[in-house]
C-alpha cells in the first residue's frame, strides 16, 4: 500500500519528565506523524514520467522524437544543468527517461508550455490534497506554481525558469501519497483513483458493514500513453547501454525473473548550499499488468555521497523480493545476461548458508524408556529409578491421537508414517 508509519525513538522516563508541556505535546504529535502524508519535499526525477506523460497526451511530443543534450539549457538568462554535464548527446523520448536527462526534460516542457504543463500537474493532483483516509495530510497548494491569473498570489505565477526546473521535479513540493498516486495513474492505464487504506469495515461478529470501493476521480492520460510509459519505465531498469555510453539508471533495483519498471529520483534540498539530498525510487510490477506500486524515499542518506539513488533502489528491491511472492506474483522472465553472475552468487550463498544449518540434537533417551511424541518427555511407569531388575515389564503413558485410523492389513505398526504430500 502507498503509505507507511514512521515512529520516533523513545524517551527515557527522566527525559520525559523533564519535557515542558509544549515539548511533551509536540513529542506526542510526532509519534502519530506519518511522513508519507504529512511531510512535503521536492520529488526530483521520479516526477519525470508525469512530464513525459503530459507531453505525449497533449501531442507536444511523439514517441521516437529526439533531443540533443549538451549538458545544459539557458533559460531566462541562467544556465540550468543536466546531471550529466558533458551531455547525453542525441537521445529519444524513451532515452530521456531511461538516462534521466534534465536537458531533454526542459526541452519537452518548453514544447508543452506553462499553461498546459500547469493544467496537467493539477490533473495528476499536485497542489491538491488526495483526501486519503488518514489524518494529517499536508497542503501543497502554496508549494506549487500556477499559470497566469490562476495563481493565488503573484509569487506563485509560473515563469520560464519554474517550468524548466519543475519539468524534472525541482522547485515544487509534493507528499509521498501525491507522488505515488500520480505515478500509479501513469502506469495503470491512465486512471487517477482516490487513494485509500481501508478496504472494508466489519462489525464485531465479522460481518461486512461497508465495502470501500475504488473511486475514480479522473483520467489524465489515455491507455495508449500509459502503455508507452510502462515500456519506457521498463527500459529504465532493463535497457542496454547506448552508443554514447549512457546507461539505464534503474538497474540496481532489478529482481531476477521479473519484468518491472521504475524511476530513480535525486532532489537537492533547500538550502542548496548545504548540499543535502533526498533520494528515491518508485516502481511497479509486473510490467504488462501492474499489481503493485512501491515508492521508497531516503531523506539525507547517512553516506559520504548522498546523491546516489542506489540507497533507495536497494531498499525497494529487498521489499519487493518479499512482497511479490506474498501477492502470488512469481518470476516468469528469463534472467538478463548481465544479472546471471549476481544470481549465481546469491544461489551459492544461499546453499552455503543452508549447509551450515544443523538440526537441533534430540535429548538422550534412557534405554527401555518411552517418549511422549508431543512433548519429547520420558513417560515411563514405573520410574526408571525404581525398576525391579527381576521384572522386565515397562508400561508407557503416551497420549494417542483419537483420530488415528486403523492401519491397512499387512502394514507393520512400526512403519514410519508418510509425510503429507501437500505439506
Per-residue model confidence as pLDDT tens for the chain (423 residues): 333 322 333 456 677 778 888 888 887 777 778 899 999 999 999 999 999 999 999 999 999 999 999 999 999 999 999 999 999 999 999 999 999 999 999 999 999 999 999 999 999 999 999 999 999 999 999 999 999 999 999 999 999 999 999 999 999 999 999 999 999 999 999 999 999 998 889 888 889 999 989 999 999 999 999 999 999 999 999 999 999 999 999 999 999 999 999 999 988 777 666 678 889 999 999 999 999 999 999 988 776 665 666 889 999 999 999 999 999 999 988 887 777 777 777 777 777 777 766 555 555 555 555 555 555 555 555 555 555 555 554 444 444 444 444 444 443 333 333 444 334
Residue 146 DSSP label: B
- Residues ≥6 apart with Cβ < 8 Å to 52: 61, 93, 96, 97, 105, 108, 229, 232
**CATH ID of 35-199+209-336, from 3.30.420.40, 3.40.50.920, 3.40.710.10, 3.40.50.2300:** 3.40.710.10
Beta bridge partners of 283: 262, 294
Q: Which residue has the cell 521535479?
A: 169
CA angle 294, 295, 296 (to 5 degrees): 120
- The answer to whether 226 is a known catalytic residue is no
Annotated catalytic residue: which of 45, 96, 167, 181? 45
Residue extents of the structural domains in the chain: 35-199+209-336
* Nearest one of 339, 340, 228, 327 to 287, comparing CA atoms: 228
- Residues 329, 220: Cα–Cα separation, whole Å: 28
Amino acid at each position: 500500500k502507498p503509505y507507511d508509519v514512521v515512529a520516533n525513538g523513545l524517551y527515557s522516563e527522566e527525559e520525559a519528565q523533564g519535557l515542558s508541556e509544549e515539548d511533551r505535546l509536540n513529542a506526542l504529535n510526532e509519534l502519530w506523524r506519518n511522513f508519507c502524508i504529512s511531510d512535503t519535499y521536492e520529488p526530483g526525477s521520479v516526477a519525470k514520467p508525469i512530464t513525459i506523460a503530459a507531453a505525449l497526451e497533449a501531442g507536444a511530443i511523439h514517441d521516437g522524437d529526439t533531443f540533443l543534450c549538451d549538458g545544459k539549457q539557458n533559460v531566462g538568462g541562467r544556465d540550468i544543468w543536466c546531471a550529466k554535464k558533458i551531455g547525453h548527446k542525441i537521445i529519444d523520448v524513451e532515452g530521456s527517461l531511461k538516462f534521466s536527462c534534465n536537458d531533454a526534460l526542459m526541452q519537452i516542457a518548453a514544447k508543452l508550455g506553462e499553461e498546459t504543463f500547469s493544467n496537467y500537474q493539477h490533473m495528476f493532483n499536485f497542489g491538491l490534497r488526495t483526501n486519503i483516509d488518514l489524518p494529517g495530510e499536508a497542503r501543497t497548494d502554496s508549494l506549487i506554481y500556477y499559470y497566469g491569473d490562476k495563481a493565488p498570489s503573484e509569487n506563485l505565477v509560473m515563469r520560464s525558469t519554474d517550468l524548466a526546473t519543475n519539468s524534472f521535479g525541482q522547485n515544487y513540493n509534493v507528499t509521498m501519497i501525491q507522488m505515488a498516486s500520480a505515478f500509479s495513474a501513469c502506469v495503470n492505464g491512465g486512471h487517477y483513483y482516490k487513494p485509500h487504506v481501508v478496504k472494508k469495515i466489519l462489525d464485531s461478529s465479522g460481518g461486512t458493514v461497508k465495502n470501500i470501493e475504488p473511486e475514480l476521480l479522473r483520467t489524465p492520460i489515455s491507455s495508449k500513453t500509459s502503455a508507452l510509459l510502462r515500456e519506457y519505465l521498463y527500459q529504465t531498469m532493463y535497457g542496454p547501454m547506448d552508443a554514447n555510453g549512457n546507461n539505464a539508471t534503474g538497474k540496481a533495483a532489478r529482481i531476477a525473473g521479473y519484468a518491472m519498471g521504475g524511476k530513480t529520483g535525486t532532489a537537492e534540498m533547500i538550502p542548496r548550499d548545504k548540499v543535502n539530498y533526498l533520494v528515491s525510487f518508485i516502481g511497479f510490477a509486473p510490467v504488462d499488468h501492474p499489481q503493485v506500486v512501491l515508492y521508497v524515499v531516503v531523506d539525507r542518506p547517512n553516506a559520504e555521497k548522498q546523491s546516489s539513488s542506489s540507497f533507495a533502489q536497494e531498499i525497494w528491491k529487498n521489499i519487493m523480493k518479499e512482497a511479490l511472492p506474498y501477492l502470488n506474483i512469481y518470476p516468469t522472465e528469463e534472467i538478463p545476461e548481465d544479472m546471471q553472475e549476481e544470481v549465481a552468487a546469491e544461489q551459492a550463498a544461499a546453499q552455503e548458508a543452508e549447509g551450515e544449518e544443523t538440526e537441533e540434537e534430540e535429548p538422550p533417551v534412557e534405554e527401555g524408556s518411552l517418549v511422549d511424541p508431543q512433548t519429547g518427555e520420558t513417560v515411563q511407569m514405573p520410574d526408571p529409578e525404581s525398576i525391579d531388575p527381576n521384572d522386565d515389564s515397562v508400561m508407557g503413558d503416551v497420549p494417542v491421537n483419537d483420530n488415528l485410523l486403523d492401519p491397512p492389513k499387512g502394514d507393520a505398526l512400526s512403519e514410519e508414517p508418510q509425510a503429507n504430500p501437500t505439506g
